[in-house]
Amino acid sequence: MLLRRQLPAHALIAGIDAALKIGSVSTDLVATEARKAIEDTEDRGTDTCVASDQDE
């Protein structure tokens, strides 16, 4: 699966989780759900990067 080269890890994991919840192992479904996860993150305006050491 080459999606990991094109999509962020968090989106790919969300896609895998969504596919497994409905009992599917389809790579097409994983890709679709991963892209939906990216769109949802962008729609909420959430930054996907976790900042470290900013509390200091």
Mean pLDDT within 27-54? 75
In angstroms, the CA 10 to CA 47 distance is 12
Question: Mapping DSSP to helix (H, G, I), strand (E, B) and coil, where does residue 43 land?
Answer: helix
36: left (phi over 0), alpha (psi -120 to 50) or beta: alpha
Q: What is the predicted pLDDT for the residue at 43?
A: 78
DSSP state of 50: P
| Structure confidence at residue 55 (pLDDT) | 46
Using one digit for the tens of pLDDT, what is the confidence trace for 2-32? 666 778 889 999 999 999 999 998 999 999 9
